């Protein structure tokens, strides 16, 4: 197959999604020197609109620079195409004479590939290459983008814990993660000794209760004189509503095109500030919204993550010569190994943090959770123990 390859990027950008793009392009150039490689701008939207980058015009040098740059160089999209939209996309690919479409993204992206693969009837290979800082793709041990984002979060909470040793109080950092708590859990990855923060972690997998939260913080203050909290933007109350939905009046809630409530930002931060002010009046408390800081931060691109992302792209390009599927990163024999799995296994599914990653009775990571985090996000800095 010399042919035509189309590549696109979907969903939230990461620090290493461009490595996957570069890996795919490099592999196609190696295996199929005459092939045409087109990058669709802003995901399937670029195919719908016929908006392409021709990689014939992109030197290896520029590709190398782009690989080292965070975010999605082709642009991204939040479009979740329905059957009608997919038909337009499919026609666009057919008009190009495309032999394969490699789409780098999360579970929605895998879902799009499945719809397209089903409609195309085997004439074009549809390969999904994984990326997400949320680490919430089933079939994967972990996903490209997670380690770098996790390293940012681990370093941020290590640093804030040191700050709050010097000037005690309560700190709450709100971390991205609608359904899966992996990224929030990463806040604990670089704890070293008993008593190091973050002391409390709240993830979407476990019901959140404000009274329990206040009790947890009060107890931590009693033990350590400070309390560092990492909380997922997607924490939900017992009745299944997000914390924002529980605490903010319906007419002030913001929803996206899919009806999802906007989770991060001022409302959630303010909800925590008010809960602490009411529950623990007079105690210094600060709430930060980490928001976009961890997602594609240029200061915390992890080399392992970058290499795995590149390899996933190369593997996707190789797999595309044989048929459709989703690239999944497995942990086998102590190594990360890419495998091709059916698109339907991944499409639209969410991987949650395993139940045993949290301690049963305390809002903290278990030893099983810590072992996973330490394997993926090994400690990067040696820290001098402060005198306080």
Q: Give the C-alpha separation, 358 to 355, whole Å.
A: 6
Among residues 83, 131, 145, 87, which one has the least CA distance to residue 296?
145
Tokens of residue 156, six digits: 């941020």
Q: Which residues contact 242 (CB under 8 A, 6 or more apart)?
A: 234, 235, 236, 261, 263
> Is residue 134 annotated as part of the catalytic site, yes or no?
yes
Among 2, 50, 97, 167, binds a copy of itself (CB under 8 A): 167
Chosen residue from 74, 124, 261, 358 binding a copy of itself by CB under 8 A: 74
Dig out the tokens for 354 from the structure: 């395993």
Which residue in 20, 36, 37, 75 binds a copy of itself (CB under 8 A)? Answer: 75
Token pair 């959770």 in the structure block, residue: 369
At 377, give phi and psi (nearest 5°).
-125, 70
Among 4, 71, 109, 132, which residue interacts with a copy of itself (rule: CB under 8 A)?
71
Phi and psi for 317 in degrees, rounded to 5? -65, -40
User: Which residue in 118, 141, 245, 273 binds a copy of itself (CB under 8 A)?
Assistant: 273
Structure tokens at 385: 């123990």
Residue 13 in contact with a copy of itself, rule: CB under 8 A: yes
Residue among 4, 76, 114, 140 that touches a copy of itself (CB under 8 A) = 76
SS3 205: coil
Options 56, 166, 239, 250; binder of a copy of itself; rule CB under 8 A: 166
List CB contacts of 125: < 8 A, sequence separation 6 or more: 99, 100, 101, 319, 320, 321, 322, 323, 324
Q: Which stretch binds a copy of itself (CB under 8 A): 69-77, 85-93, 103-111, 341-349?
A: 69-77
Q: Which stretch binds a copy of itself (CB under 8 A): 114-122, 154-162, 306-314, 342-350?
A: 154-162
> Rounded to the nearest whole angstrom, what is the least distance from the CB of residue 18 to a copy of itself in the complex?
7
Kindly state whether residue 253 participates in binding a copy of itself, applying the rule CB under 8 A.
no
Q: Which of 287, 309, 347, 376 binds a copy of itself (CB under 8 A)?
A: 287
Candidate segments 72-80, 93-101, 120-128, 137-145, binder of a copy of itself by CB under 8 A: 72-80
Of the candidates 108, 134, 136, 196, the residue annotated as catalytic is: 134
Q: Does 5 bind a copy of itself (CB under 8 A)?
A: no
Least Å from the CB of residue 334 to a copy of itself: 27
Give the whole-angstrom CA distance, residue 234 versus residue 19. Answer: 28
Q: Is there binding between residue 38 and a copy of itself (CB under 8 A)?
A: no
Distance, in Å, from the CA atom of 194 to the CA atom of 189, rounded to the nearest integer, reads 13
Tell me the C-alpha distance between 3 and 28, whole Å: 10
Q: Contact at 8 Å (CB) between 230 and 175?
A: yes
- With CB under 8 A, what is the number of residues at the site for a copy of itself? 74
Assess 72 for contact with a copy of itself (CB under 8 A): yes
Q: Which CB, 111 or 197, lies closer to a copy of itself?
A: 197
Locus of tokens 């997998």: 205
**73 touches a copy of itself (CB under 8 A):** yes
The answer to whether 384 contacts a copy of itself (rule: CB under 8 A) is yes
* CB nearer a copy of itself, residue 161 or residue 205: 161
Please report how many Cα atoms fall inside a 13 Å half-sphere around the Cα of residue 170, on the Cβ side.
Answer: 26
Interacting residues with a copy of itself between 195 and 224 (CB under 8 A):
none
Between the alpha carbon of residue 21 and those of residues 129, 258, 353, the distances in Å are: 9, 28, 27
Out of 3, 23, 39, 111, point to the residue binding a copy of itself (CB under 8 A). Answer: 39
Query: Per rule CB under 8 A, is residue 277 in the interface with a copy of itself?
Result: yes
Q: For residue 149, state whether it binds a copy of itself (rule: CB under 8 A).
A: no
Q: What CA–CA distance (Å, rounded) separates 57 from 16?
A: 22
Specify the residue, 17 or 353, whose C-beta has the smaller distance to a copy of itself.
17
Instruction: Please say whether the beta carbons of 233 and 202 come within 8 A.
Output: no
Active site residues: 134
């Amino acid at each position: 197959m010399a042919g035509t390859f189309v590549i696109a990027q979907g969903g939230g950008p990461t620090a290493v999604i461009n490595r996957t793009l570069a890996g795919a392009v490099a592999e196609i150039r190696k295996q199929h020197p005459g092939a045409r490689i087109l990058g669709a701008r802003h995901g399937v939207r670029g195919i719908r609109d016929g908006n392409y980058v021709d990689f014939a015009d992109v030197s290896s040098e520029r590709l190398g620079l782009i690989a080292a740059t965070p975010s999605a160089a082709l642009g991204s999209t939040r479009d979740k195409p329905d059957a009608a939209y997919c038909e337009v996309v499919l026609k666009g690919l057919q008009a190009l004479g495309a032999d394969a479409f490699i789409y780098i993204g999360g579970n929605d992206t895998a879902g799009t590939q499945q719809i397209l693969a089903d409609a195309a009837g085997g004439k074009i290979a549809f390969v999904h290459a994984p990326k997400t800082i949320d680490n919430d793709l089933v079939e994967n041990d972990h996903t490209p983008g997670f380690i770098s984002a996790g390293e940012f979060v681990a370093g941020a909470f290590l640093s804030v814990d040191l700050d709050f040793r010097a000037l005690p109080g309560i700190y709450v950092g709100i971390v991205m993660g609608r359904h899966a708590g992996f990224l929030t859990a990463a806040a604990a990855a670089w704890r070293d000794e008993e008593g190091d923060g973050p002391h409390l972690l709240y993830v979407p997998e476990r019901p959140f209760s404000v009274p329990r939260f206040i009790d947890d913080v009060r107890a931590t203050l009693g033990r350590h004189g400070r309390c560092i909290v990492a909380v997922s933007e997607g924490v939900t109350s017992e009745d299944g509503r997000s914390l924002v939905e529980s605490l903010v009046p319906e007419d002030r809630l913001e929803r996206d095109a899919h009806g999802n409530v906007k989770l991060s930002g001022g409302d959630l931060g303010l909800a925590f500030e008010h809960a602490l002010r009411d529950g623990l009046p007079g105690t210094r408390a600060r709430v930060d919204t980490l928001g976009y800081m961890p997602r594609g931060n240029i200061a915390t691109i992890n080399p392992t993550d970058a290499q795995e992302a590149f390899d996933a792209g190369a593997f996707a390009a190789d797999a595309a010569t044989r048929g459709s599927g989703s690239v999944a990163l497995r942990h086998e024999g102590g190594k990360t190994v890419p495998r091709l799995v059916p698109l339907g296994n991944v499409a639209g599914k969410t991987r949650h943090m395993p139940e045993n990653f949290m301690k049963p009775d305390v809002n903290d990571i278990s030893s099983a959770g810590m072992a996973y985090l330490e394997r993926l996000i090994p400690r990067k800095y040696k820290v001098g123990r402060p005198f306080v």
